[in-house]
Every structure is written in C-alpha cells, then in structure tokens.
Structure 1
Amino acid sequence: MVEFLSNYFRSVIALTPDDLLPSVYMCLNQLAPAYHSLELGIAETYLMKAVGQCTGRTVAQLRAAVAREGDLGTVAAHARATQRTMFQQPPLKARRVFNALKDIARMTGQASVNKKIAKIQSLFTACRNCEAKYLVRSLEGKLRIGLAEQSVLQALALAVTVTPPSPQGQLMLDASKGISPEQFKARVDANALLIKTTYCECPNYDAIIPVLLEHGVESLPKHCRLTPGVPLKPMLAHPARGVQELFDRFEGSQFTCEWKYDGERAQIHVPSTTDDGAPDYSRAAIFSRNQENNTSKYPDVLCRLPSLLKDNTRSCVLDCEVVAYDPVQKQILPFQILSTRKRKDANESDIKVQVCVFIFDLLYLNGEPLVTSPLRKRRELLSENFNYTPGEWERATHKDCTSAEEVQQELSEGVKGSCEGLMVKALEGPRSKYDIARRSHNWLKLKKDYLEGVGDTVDAVVIGGYYGKGKRAGTYGGFLLACRDDQGDEYQSLCKIGTGFTDELLQTLTAELKQHVIDAPRSYYRYDAGHIPDAWFSPALVWEVRCADLSLSPSHRAAQGLLDRDKGISLRFPRFVRSRDDKTPEQATTAQQIMQMYLNQDQVKNNTQTQQVEDDFY
C-alpha cells in the first residue's frame, strides 16, 4: 500500500504539485490540522437524503439497504451505478473535491443543511466508477482504506526520495537509479525520519507540504519548527509492573519520580508579540492530548496566565495536567468531577468546578525549542522563569530516587495525595529528552494497582450491547468491547463486560449509547458469531477497563495473527473503571499493545520467548 501511494504522490509531484496537499489530507480523511477543529458534521440521514434525491430513492429504502450492506458508501455506489444522466459532468479532480469538502465544513446557520446537501449532490452526480463509495465514506468521516498516518508519511518519504521535488524545473523521475539498494534504503529511512520528526514538531501539512515542494526534504527542520500555537502530540509512558522494573530500565542512569495526577493533559501555549516581544496573552491557547483546542473550556486558567510568567518570560509551551481542586480543603478531587465541566465556551462566572494546573515539563521558552534538552535542564528553567501559586499553578511533586525503598515511599505519598501513582523519567543523557509523539520506555508509569495483576488498564471501544435482565431490564446489562488494529484500520473484539457498573451508571451509559446505535456491524468490525450483541454501536465511546490477566482466545479477534493464526487475545474478568471522554476511538489501546501486555505477563514470560516492541510514533 505504501508503494502504491508513493507512486501516486510521485505522479502528483511531477505533474500537478498543487494537488499534493489535498491528496495527503484526503488520504487521511482530514480537512485541516486537528487544532483547527474543522469537521464536516453531516448526519447520516442528510447524506441519505442527498443520495436519494440524486438517485430517485427514499431515505427508508436507503436505510434498509444500509442495514443489509452495513456501509452507506457501498449502497451509494450501487445506486449511482444504476443512475442514468443526460449529460455527463466533468470528472472530479482532487482540488475541487477537497475545496468542496472544506466549504461544506465551514457552512453554518439555518440554511446550511440545504446548502450542504446541494453541494454534496453536485459532487455525487459527477462521480464515476467507484468514486461514489469513497466520496460518501469521506463525507461520513469513515474512509477505511487501511492506511494509518505513519504509512502516509512513509509513502511521502519514499515518493520524495525517488522523485525529488524540483522548483527549478529539472525534475528527476527516478533518483534510485545508479545507487545500490542499501544506499537507497538508507536514503529513504533518513528522509522518513526527517519528515516524521518534522511533523511531530510542526503537525501541520499546510506548512510542511509547501516547504517540501519548494525547498526539498532537507530544508524541513529550518522552515518547520516547534512554534507556540501549533500543538504537539505529547510524549506518553509505558507501564511498569513493579519497582524492580524501574531499576532494570534505568540501570546506571539517574531518574526522578513525579506524582501522576488524575486529571486532563493540557498543553499551554503562550506566543510573543511581534513588536516588543512581550507575551501575547490574547493568542494564548490550551490544547488537549488529542491536539484539540480547549481554550474556551478553561477561561479561568487563561486569566491566571499573567501571574505565572515572570518578567523575563516572553513565550513558552508548557506540558501540564489540569486537575479538579477543592480550594477550601486544599485537596485534589477525582477525575469524574473534572469531567462535569462544560466542554466548550465556558463562562468564568458560571464555573463551579475549580481547577489547579500542575506543570511538569517545559517544551519551548523565549523562541527556543527545548525538547532535546535534558529533563534536569528543563526543570531548572521551570524554576527560574515561572511563579507558582498554591491551588492555581503548582509544580508536579517529584523526588529523585536511588533505592527501591525511596520509590515505594514516594508511591505511597502520591497515593495519599490523591494521585494515581508515579511517572518515572530519566534525568540526564539522551534518554532524558522529550520524545514528541512517542510512547517511550524513557518514561514509565507506576500505578498503585500495577503491583498486582495486569500492569496497565486498557482503553477499549464499545461496539455492542446486550439487553439487561432482572433489575437491569430496560438498560444494557453487558457490552462487547474492542481494541483497534491501526495496521488494518479495524476494530477487533476483545471481551464481553458486565461488571463495575452501578444501576445509575447503566442508565446513563444506555442513554448515551442509544445515540450511536446502528442497524448492522461496520464492515471493519472483527468478531465471533458466538458474541453477536443485541445492539451494534458505531465506534464512538472509549472505556477504561481493568482485568485480572490476558489469555489467548479462540472466540475473540484482538491481535489475531500476531501470536497465533487462529486465536486472538481476550481480557479475563474485565471490570469497568471509567469513561474516557478525553480519548477518541482512534486513540484506543491497539492490537500491538494488547499483544505486548499479554507477553509481559510473568506466566507467559516463563514459558515463551517474548517479543520486544521498540518505541515508535503512535
């Protein structure tokens, strides 16, 4: 797939370079960077209405067909194939389709629905062959072509290596000629690393693609750098099973233990003004771990920003945890209380849940990126350039430990302080840099409940529900959960779950899930016939789940083929922990992570040779 896509990108570079940016976005089913929050927002009913008006079918007929096929895109393609037109419209071209999709996303107001339907119809009637299927899937936001973002970046790297962009007009169609396969592979790998690293620091194709075409891949770091206002994908941690694992991982290195707060990850950006270089608080922004703009969710935090920055601090990017806080009792409150805050456009006067921001890292200061600086240096700069106020702005509590007893003591202190556990990080050397967009072994998380059973919890997607019986009648009493296979872009059944729910919680979850009921399973669901639920759901909700252990299963499909051709992996004795409103289904635990969790179990380690998964971009 990477080779097919790279050949397409090469053709675009050689013939119509202006189509490269729309092509990359459409392969990813995106319209703009995540922090722009530009989404199509088209309900399935409106799509059916648009397709029906073009093909002479009613919405009821289309809904029945979707129930049989499980995919509106396939139904639309069949309807379009039987449609006759008097005059054939000009063929669709990448830029026209991409611009039309952006126009649809920007339409607002009372008449916007009819305008969107008219725009969709103009595209749909111009579709030829299989185009209708992929157009409708794109409009649904459910384009399933089996390509994750890392594969698109790899294809782009291969394309610019074989056919380097040439602004001067001296285009070389195949630069692989005349060099050995080893040299060519090394060149591709170097370009791929450069493109991926640049994208981590500047996750904006609107900035990267023009530089790539005008200046070449080598110039990317010069023109596309970490900039306040453009959120980064955060560094994440691997779970540790016990205290001894910390010393095995950080053998011979200094490490520190930070309290792990139970809140919401926040990246705070403060740019500087262009005239005098002072902090520009009017353009300050707060982003979630998903790079979504959460600025309007925390107006109270923005008002406090001037008290945080010292006089010598002109611009910065801070990595923080926003935690619900009781200012009277001076104590941290559970995550569930934080989740009750309004998600958008909050008014400071209406806010009932107060928050405290715990700052644990500094990624950018006064015009200089700091992601490659050692953690010890970044901490020193945090002390020198910021003011801290109890209950509003606080440093993450930390201690540099040298013995297992100290780690155990700090873990106990963290738990007493209403924290989940510890984050353990290297202080010095190459392992102490900030690995953007990586789930790295250079950060380990040690939770109070990691010391028994399975090391980490699982973030699973709810894809089905089973009707409750007895006192659970009228609600869903059990659920089918799945992990995500990001290689095949599909959801694989992981377990059935029915424990960890109160009666009140089941009422709430049932009402929430009824908004996502679909007539048939999606074509990208993988499950066993023995676990067909009473109701299927579109992939929308993510739940955190704990289990006793993981086992190979002939009836579940998670990670099937990675360890055993016929068996997947399932969770034993799963228990609901909480809803993860801060995660999208695309950020659920992956099949690869499920496999690694299975292999990390002591009973498996003692009987098999485990596979080690290297840190990678997530």
Structure 2
Amino acid sequence: MSDEEEEYVEEKPFAVEVAKQGRAVCKKVRLIADITNNPGYLDKTNCVKKLFKDGTDGTGFKDDVVLWCRLLLPGVVKRVYNLQSKQLIKLFSRIFLTDQTEMLEHLERGDIGETIQQFFDESLKVRPAKKSTLTVKEVDQFLEKLAKLTKEDDQMEHFIKIAPKCTSNDLKTIIRLIKGDLRMGAGAKHILDGVHPDAYEAYQASRDIETVIGKCLGNEQKGKKTNKIVRAEISVMTPILPMLAEACKSVEQAMKKCPNGMYSEIKYDGERVQVHKHGSEFKYFSRSLKPVLPHKIQHFKEFIPKAFPHAKDLILDSEILMIDTNTEKKILQQTMTEIPNHIVFSEMKEIRKPKELSEMIAKVLKLGLEGLVLKDFKSIYEPAMADTADLIVLGAWYGTGKKGGMMSVFLMGCYNPKNKKFCTVTKVHTGHDDKTLEQLQDELDMVKISQDMSKVPNWLSCTKTMVPDFVAKDPKAQPIWEITGAEFTQHEVHTADGISIRFPRVTRIRDDKSWDTATNLQELQKLYKTSKETTDVSYLLNEVKDDADDSAGPSPKRKKRT
C-alpha cells in the first residue's frame, strides 16, 4: 500500500465504515447497516460488491480488502479472546462504575453488544465520543493485542484506552467483533461472493482468506478485479475443511444412502487431526482448523517420515487415539509402511450386502469401538449410529443473537423412581422452527432462577454446571420431547447416572406421553447398555444367520439400533 493510500485509510472514520448498525443515521455509506437491512442473499452480496468497486465516496475502493473481510467475518476468520459475555460485563461494570447485576439482567435480552452500548451511554465515568475518529486499521490492531491478553487487569486497561475514542455504536461493534458475530445476517458466502465469484469456493478448500483474495483480485492493483477464473486449490501447510458425516438409524437406511456399495471403516473414538508435512516442517490442525496442542502430536514428527519415506509433501486426515500395545490390531496396506502403535490405517472392508454391514457393526460393537464410518463407492462418508429417548423439559436458558431474550436452549431430563427426583440428561437447542419456539415462550410454565444454585428446587437433581436460567414450575406438567442424537454417551455434568446424548436434536413433540410414560432413569440405563454392549450385536448376528440354521428360531423383535 502506498503512503497516499495509507493516509486515506487513516482519515476514514470507523463509525461510518464499520460500526454503524441498522439504526445508524450517518449520511455516508453504511455497509453493515445496508447488509443487515437487506434480507435477500443477492442484495446483501451486492452491498459488498458496490463497496469493493466504488469505495465509500464513489471514486474506487482504496483500502485493504483482506482487512475488511477479516472484520466483516469475525466468526469465520477468528482470533481467540479469553473473554466470555459475563467476563465482559464484569470488566465494563468496573470501567463504567455501573451495577454489575443490572448489566447481567440486561444481558438476558441476548445481545452483549447492546448491553455494553446502553450502559456506555448512561455512564458518568466514561463518556462516549460524539464523533468517531477510529479507523478500521486501529480497530484491527486493538483486537490483535486483545487476543494476546489473559489477565483481567490488562484487558481492562486495554479497553480503557480505546473507550474514550468510541461512540457507543463503535464500542457495540467492537464487542460484537470480539463475540464473533456482527449480527448482520451474512456469512462468508455473502461477503466473498462480493469480492469475486470464485472466492467462496476457493476459500472452502483452503480456508486461507489472504491467499484467496490475493488470487481473486490479482497483484497488479489492490481492489481491481480480473476476469481470471480462480479454482479451489489444496495447498500443503494450509488447513482444509474436513468432510462431515450424517447419522444413519439402520442398516437399511445405510444401504439406501450408498446404492453403489460402500467402504466401511471403523470409527475410532479419538481426536481428528489434519497433518501437513512440507519437507521437514510439520503443522497439525484440529477439526475446527485450529493448531493442535503440542503434547498430543509430539511423536508424529519422528514416525511419519518413516511411514512415508518417499513423501516430501504430505496431507493426512487422521485420528489420534489410545491404542492397546499388546493386541496391536490394525491392517498393513501397500501404500504406507506401518509404524506399530504410532502410524496405522483404520480397518476397512468393502460392503455390498446388508448382511455384510450387519456383521461389521456387530464386530465393532463387540470390540467396544465407537461405530462405523460408511462411504459410498461413489459418494460421501456416513456414520451408522443414532440413539433416541423421550425426555422431559426441566428447564431452559436464554438464547443469544436473534434468539436473545427468549428461552431457546432447553434442559432435558428424566424421572428417577428410586429417589423420586428428576435428573438431567442433555441440553438441546436445535430441532424447533422459529414459530414453534415463539409458541413455547407462552406454553412452557417456567420459574426464573437466573442460574442461581440456591434456587434449584428440591425435585431437581442438578450439578452446578447445569443450573439453567429457568426451571419448570411443575415437572409433572411439562411436555415430553423425543431427543435423537448420534449416540448415548457419558458426561459427568449430568445426573442421570452420567448418561447423556451426543449431538442432541428435538425430533418430535410427544403429545401422547406424560412425565410418567416418558423414558425414566432405569429405562435410560437399559437404552445406554443396549447401545454400548452386546444386545444389539446379538440382534445383528441373529439377523445374518444362514437360513440353514433353522434351529435358531426367529430373531427377537426389538428396535434396531445400528
């Protein structure tokens, strides 16, 4: 960037260019306000296109496109801050000399940015600036330093330095940037399609926004678009968005999803790690594309070159897990030299018939493994497990964002006949459409306890971590919802014998059931045992017995839990 361009950036007010929201009245261009107020995808994208073409004054865009995209996509291009909403309330109650309890009550409306904005406007200690003088660059530098601060006093001092330069809109937007959501109803596709028609697809492959924008706009003149078609590329040392899987509830469903036949790989209960090797340099990324803690991969550098002696550059999608060094069960394949107990392949088998799949599922469940990942010969990966229970709505939490101020996260549980108490199983926040969620605000009879452990009623067995904002006034009058997840699991924060549900979702409202006919604790324990141990294996094995074995009799009639 030239000196003239740098000076141009420094003169532009951040309040006009970035921080002004839907109610802003500034006469100049209000990008975020325009994006927020336009509901359609094309309209939102056109707002971005117009800015990156014409700039703020119609003479052409002269800023750093990458910097703008970083700030427009805080939830995608993330910095990691050591600040949760309640921590921000604590800091700003001290900065504003404001009652912390009042701020927390306002926070229940769901938008931490608006909470900070309102109390900034009312503060007698620190007054908002009447006119914004902040620039995009200054805000980016502020956030960059904030991400490195871990001590509360250092964080507060950092905010104190920038607050007097902010209008209340400025500070609201900075808080929203910290929380990773500008609340303008636009994501990476809206913004990157406004940069270049190929930018989003290329970004999906590499997740390297700087490289993608550089290729899309060219290097001749920053901000000048070219007609060059940009292809999605995978590059070593840059994390790639991993493929995801969906749940299958039965062998039949899995066979239907993979009509061409499938590869069946054991799904190990480990941690997914993407390994990149370039020469002697290594990088490791988690499922969320963040760096992996060094102690988890400290031995990789030693063993991977031995496993792949001819590979200079390498990308591996792997699973880290504990292994039994005595049994040493895995398969050696031609394309890789196995390093026992360190670099090994997952066990894979070609499946073409339901009988073969049933046998494979039975095998992995007997071994106590997590399940199977299925991949159609011509398609995508699919896991083959799903578990369901009919649970009682015991409590709720306020939502955030557009669901702020309403109950949108629900505490689900079951009845324990032995101690006559209700215990917690899982939190669920998906499965209801907006209309149903609105109806629930009136239909659910709740008592507000604001996550206060001392106000938890005697009928509820609940750990401190699971104390909600609201509890049921009468648990026996609460609705029953069918909750479906990837599998039953164990989680110590829940009181139903530690049983919980992984990736829960509301799949049906059970109007035909009440608290005494819903899944109780003993039934839940049986479901968990059935899911994890040999009952399902026996069923699957019975299902695939040869017809010649007439003496075995019919297989038991029970719900398939593959």
TM range (shorter): 0.5 to 0.7
2:229 and 2:238 mapped to 1: Cα distance? Answer: 16
Kept in 1, the 8 Å contact 2:264–2:350? The answer is yes
Structure 1 residue ranges without an equivalent (≥5): 162-190, 273-279, 332-357, 360-381, 433-441, 455-460, 497-506, 522-528, 532-540, 556-570, 579-618
1:305 to partner: Cα distance: 2.5
Structure 1 residue 321 displacement after superposition: 1.9
Distance (whole Å) between structure 2 residues aligned to residue 472 and residue 230 of structure 1: 54
CA contact (8 A) 1:482 1:491 kept: no
Are 1:138 and 2:177 an aligned pair?
A: yes
Measured in 2, the distance between the counterparts of 1:226 and 1:160 equals: 20
Deviation at 1:316, TM superposition (A): 0.9
Maintained 8 Å contact 2:267/2:370? yes
**Is 1:411 aligned with 2:383?**
no
Whole-Å Cα distance in 2 between the matches of residues 388 and 22 of structure 1? 44
1:396-407 pair list within 5 angstroms: 396-407=346-357
Which residue identity lines up with residue 237 of structure 1 in the other structure? A
Equivalent of 2:70 in 4, 15, 25: 25
The answer as to 2:42 corresponding to 1:96 is: no
Matched residue type, 2:138: R
Which residue of structure 2 lines up, in the alignment, with residue 323 of structure 1?
321
User: What amino acid is aligned across from residue 91 of structure 1 in structure 2?
Assistant: T
Q: Matched residues in 2 for 1:27 and 1:484: separation?
A: 26
Q: Is the 8 A contact 1:148 1:486 kept in 2?
A: no
> How is 1:110-149 mapped onto 2 (pairs within 5 angstroms)?
113-128=152-167, 130-139=169-178, 141=179, 143=181, 145=183, 147=185, 149=187
CA distance in 1, matches of 2:67, 2:364: 48
In structure 1, what residue type is equivalent to 2:365? Answer: V
Is it true that 1:41 corresponds to 2:49 in the alignment?
no
Q: 1:76-95 residue pairs with structure 2 within 5 A?
A: 76-82=116-122, 85=127, 88=130, 90-95=132-137
C-alpha displacement at 1:3, in angstroms?
Answer: 4.4
- Which range is displaced more, 298-307 or 406-415? 298-307
Give runs of aligned pairs for residues 205-354 of structure 1, distance below 5 A: 205-214=209-218, 216=225, 219=228, 221=230, 225-251=233-259, 253-272=260-279, 280=280, 283-306=281-304, 308-330=306-328
Contact 1:265 1:321 in 2 (8 A): yes
Shift of 1:100: 1.1
Is the 1:548–1:573 contact (alpha carbons within 8 Å) kept by the matching residues of 2?
no
Contact 1:549 1:572 in 2 (8 A): no
What one-letter code is carried by the residue in structure 2 that aligns with 1:29? Answer: P
Measure, in 1, the Cα distance between the counterparts of 2:141 and 2:100: 27
Structure 2, unpaired ranges of 5+: 1-38, 56-60, 220-224, 390-395, 398-408, 446-459, 472-476, 480-492, 495-499, 513-517, 529-562
Give the conservation status (yes or no) of the 8 Å contact 1:258–1:398: yes
Give me the CA root mean square deviation: 4.8
Tell whether the 8 Å contact from 1:313 to 1:385 is kept in structure 2 after alignment: no
Give the superposition deviation at 1:202. Answer: 0.7
Identify which of 483, 500, 506 aligns with 2:429. Answer: 483
For 1:57, the equivalent position in structure 2 comes to 98
- Equivalent residues in 2 for 1:197-212 (5 A)? 197-212=201-216
Contact 1:259 1:422 in 2 (8 A): yes
CA pair 106-476 structure 1, distance change in 2 beyond 3 A:
farther
CA contact (8 A) 1:262 1:419 kept: yes
Q: Deviations over 1:525-584 (max 9, x none)?
A: xxxx968xxxxxxxxx996349999324689xxxxxxxxxxxxxxx97895999xxxxxx
Question: How many residues are matched?
Answer: 411
Percent of residue pairs identical: 14
Q: For 2:384, what is the secondary structure of its paired residue? A: strand
* Mapped contact 1:310–1:387 kept (Cα < 8 A): yes
Contact 2:307 2:343 in 1 (8 A): no
Change (3 A) 1:144 1:403: same
Deviations 1:377-403, CA, capped at 9 Å, x for gaps: xxxxx9454211333222111122232
1:524-539 map, 5 Å: none
SS at match of 1:399: strand
Residue 508 of structure 1 and its aligned partner are, at CA, apart by: 13
2:507 equivalent in structure 1: 550
Give 1:102 shift: 1.3
Paired letter, 2:269 = D
* Kept after mapping to 2: 8 A contact 1:236/1:443: yes
CA displacement at 1:319 relative to structure 2: 1.4
Q: Relative to structure 1, is the Cα distance of residues 417 and 87 closer, same or farther in structure 2, using a 3 angstrom cutoff? A: closer
- Over 3 Å counting, the alpha-carbon distance change for 1:401 and 1:510 in structure 2 is same
Go from structure 1 to structure 2 and tell me whether the alpha carbon gap of 1:4 and 1:552 turns closer, same or farther (over 3 Å shift).
same
Larger radius of gyration: 2
* Cα drift, residue 115 of structure 1: 3.9
Q: Which amino acid aligns with 1:232?
A: I
| Change over 3 Å in CA distance of 1:391–1:198 after alignment to 2 | same
> Equivalents in 2 of 1:453, 1:49: separation in Å?
40
Whole-angstrom CA distance in 2 between matches of 1:472 and 1:232: 50
Moved more, 81-90 or 254-263: 81-90
Contact 1:70 1:520 in 2 (8 A): no
1:302 deviates by 1.7
In 2, are the aligned partners of 1:240 and 1:446 still within 8 Å (CA)? yes
Q: What CA distance in whole angstroms lies between the structure 2 residues aligned with 1:415 and 1:393? A: 23
Corresponding residue for residue 424 of structure 1: 374
C-alpha contact (below 8 Å) 2:303/2:342 kept by paired residues:
no
Measure the CA separation in 2 of the matches of 1:207 and 1:329: 46
Structure 2 partner of 1:391: 341
User: What secondary structure sits across from 1:317 in the alignment?
Assistant: strand
8 Å contact kept, 1:31–1:101:
no
Aligned CA distance change for structure 1 residues 220 and 290 (closer, same or farther; 3 Å)? farther
| Counterpart among 195, 202, 209 of residue 199 in structure 2 | 195
SS in 2 for 1:10: helix
Q: State the secondary structure of the residue aligned to 2:159.
A: helix
Q: Deviations over 1:485-518 (max 9, x none)?
A: 8998x9999999xxxxxxxxxx99825557xx7x
Measured against aligned partners, the alpha-carbon deviations of 1:242-290 in whole angstroms (never above 9, x if no partner) come to 3333443333x34322222222222122122xxxxxxx1xx31332212
Amino acid at match of 2:344: E
| Distance across 1 between alignment mates of 2:233 and 2:142 | 30
Q: Aligned partners of 1:407, 1:198: CA distance in 2, in Å?
A: 37
CA distance in structure 1 between the aligned counterparts of 2:346 and 2:134, rounded to whole angstroms: 53
**Residues 1:6 and 2:45 aligned together:** yes
Following superposition, the deviation at residue 45 of structure 1 comes to 5.9
Q: CA deviation at 1:235?
A: 0.8
Match of 1:510 among 436, 446, 463: 463
Describe the shift of the 1:130–1:86 C-alpha distance in structure 2 as closer, same or farther (beyond 3 A): closer
User: How does the TM-score come out when normalised to structure 1?
Assistant: 0.55
